[in-house]
Structure 1
Amino acid sequence: MPVTSPTWDPAQYLRYAGPRARAFTDLLARVPDPPAAAPRIADLGCGPGNVTRLLADRWPTAHITGYDNSPQMLADAGAHAGPTPGGGHLDFAPADLADWTPAGTYDLIVSNATLQWVPGHLDAFAGWLAALAPGGTFAFQVPDNIDAPLHALMRELAAGPRWRSRLAHVPRRTDSVHPPAVYLDRLARLGCTPDVWVTTYHHVLTGEDPVLDWVKGSGLRPVLTALADDPEARAAFLADYRDLLREAYPSTGYGTVLPFQRLYAVAVKEA
């Protein structure tokens, strides 16, 4: 796992709130309605709360709790907390998913672009599913592009002569996300009916060095955190990485295309 726990920047992350939220919207489109009239929902890795709010739009009577281990993200998420127009409630709480244990029973447990940061997350599924009500659902999506230039170039640069002593083990590991068949098998063996699929988006980004700007809000956070106390080194790494990304993701007259693959799973517990 990375040696540095990343510090998150909600403003940077939300610069691409639309494309990032689309993945969550596509996940929710395949999630069945919970069996309870006023369902209890957990959002694992809620970030700044902008997509957690979408859960309240879909299920207005639900009691929804968003969990995250980033104080910065939770501070922003707090703006969404409170009663919802449909009579439900939205709140947020600190939690580290590496050892999070559900308190009580949930009708839906959902996670958006978070489990790739949780080593051993497959082993947590049994406990989380045990907390689901009969007929409840566990649903998640994770980036499934660890071999894309976006990440491969970061790892290669971090492991190169100039940076290896400080950064060789900092970027996210190549085994942080498993193949789709692994998730399907684990969820099926735990008594669920799983639906697992992969989607590749082709985001058209605009602006100067937009791929670098994108990854500064997500996958590059461990590196930025590791170099936070050395602005000169941070700037040097970003310059080298920027040049590599410019070559890998060339700009066109209409923008820069960022292919981005995501893995989805929706698992319904036996009623």
Structure 2
Amino acid sequence: MTAPLWDPQQYLRHADHRTRPFHDLLARVGDLPGRPRIADLGCGAGNVTALLADRWPQARITGYDNSPEMLARAASHTRPGLDFVRADAAAWEPAEPYGLIVSNALLQWVPGHADRFPVWLDALAPGGTFAFQVPGNFTAPSHTLLAALRESPRWRSRLHDAGDRTAAVLAPTDYLTRLRTLGCEADVWETTYLQILQGQDPVLDWVKGTALRPVLTALADDPEARDAFLTEYRDLLRTAYPLGPHGTVFPFRRIFAVARRA
């Protein structure tokens, strides 16, 4: 699968909703002593990395991402003690001890990411923390309809490999088992947010920032095909997520894990 092209402006259109799980994740991360070293894997546009700097102003924080578009946007958050570096999480190996390694909505894009856990956990300083959250909504209509449309006769040849991440995310119990087996104290949980989205076709607008990126990348050189696909998908989403009296309800399931070294 070709790496998707990211659009920071589109992604940040729903920044409040997208940031809420990160706040909930950080709420379970305890105090970090001294001037800790922090890594944010998959920092994206840098807005959540800035939250780390707000909470731990004495820390040395680096946001890592492999998207030039996202890193260009993240650069606006640079400040003393906070920088951004291009890196691929699938191959990233810490070069020094870290008090916190955190990842927000990245690991679903990294097949086999749980196999990287031993490397990252070994890099934690004593008492250090590894924390992440990933989507758990791959059985939701937003994703099953997208997968079915990609596999339909009209689109299969062009979009067969464009963005199937279902197998990348493990079940919460599997994350718990992996982290405990690696000798960590682990807290794993899941939450479904009942988000109320506003505007015209808001679920389509939402997935344009994330799940649709591989499709939009694959069809970037064919605007007519792109628009035809979006029209088909939009009509399916309108039926699956009807407009209600207060907006469009979009259930949003997330999986969280916080692991601490003894």
TM-score range, shorter chain: over 0.9
Q: Deviations over 1:104-153 (max 9, x none)?
A: 11000000000000011010000000000010000000010111101100
SS at match of 1:51: helix
Q: Deviations over 1:197-229 (max 9, x none)?
A: 000001100000000000000111000000000
TM-score (norm 2): 0.99
The corresponding residue for 2:50 is 53
**Paired amino acid for 1:136:** G
The worse-fitting range, judged by mean Cα deviation, of 223-232 and 171-180 is 171-180
The corresponding residue for 2:208 is 216
The corresponding residue for 1:29 is 27
**Paired amino acid for 2:187:** D
Q: Which runs of 5+ in 1 are unaligned?
A: 84-88
TM-score (norm 1): 0.96
1 CA distance for matches of 2:70 and 2:173?
Answer: 32
The corresponding residue for 1:86 is none
2 CA distance for matches of 1:10 and 1:192?
Answer: 35
Q: How far is the alpha carbon of 1:164 from its aligned partner?
A: 0.3
Q: How far is the alpha carbon of 1:57 from its aligned partner?
A: 1.1
The corresponding residue for 2:142 is 150
The corresponding residue for 1:17 is 15
SS at match of 1:185: helix
CA contact (8 A) 2:192 2:253 kept: yes
CA contact (8 A) 1:44 1:114 kept: yes
SS at match of 1:119: coil
Runs of 4+ aligned structure 1 residues displaced above 6 Å come to: none
Q: How far is the alpha carbon of 1:60 from its aligned partner?
A: 1.1
Select the residue among 71, 77, 82 that pairs with 2:79. 82
1 CA distance for matches of 2:61 and 2:140?
Answer: 34
Aligned runs of 1:1-150 on 2, under 5 Å?
3-34=1-32, 36-83=33-80, 89-150=81-142
CA contact (8 A) 2:108 2:165 kept: no
Select the residue among 146, 165, 177 that pairs with 1:173. 165
Equivalences, count: 262
The corresponding residue for 1:254 is 246
1 CA distance for matches of 2:41 and 2:163?
Answer: 22
Q: How far is the alpha carbon of 1:4 from its aligned partner?
A: 2.0
**Paired amino acid for 1:79:** S
The corresponding residue for 1:194 is 186
**Paired amino acid for 1:37:** G
Q: Deviations over 1:24-73 (max 9, x none)?
A: 00000000112x31011000000000011100111110000000000000
CA contact (8 A) 1:172 1:219 kept: no
**Paired amino acid for 2:18:** R
Matched, 1:242 2:240: no
The corresponding residue for 1:264 is 256
1 CA distance for matches of 2:245 and 2:120?
Answer: 47
SS at match of 1:41: strand
**Paired amino acid for 1:63:** R
What's the RMSD between the two structures over aligned residues?
0.7
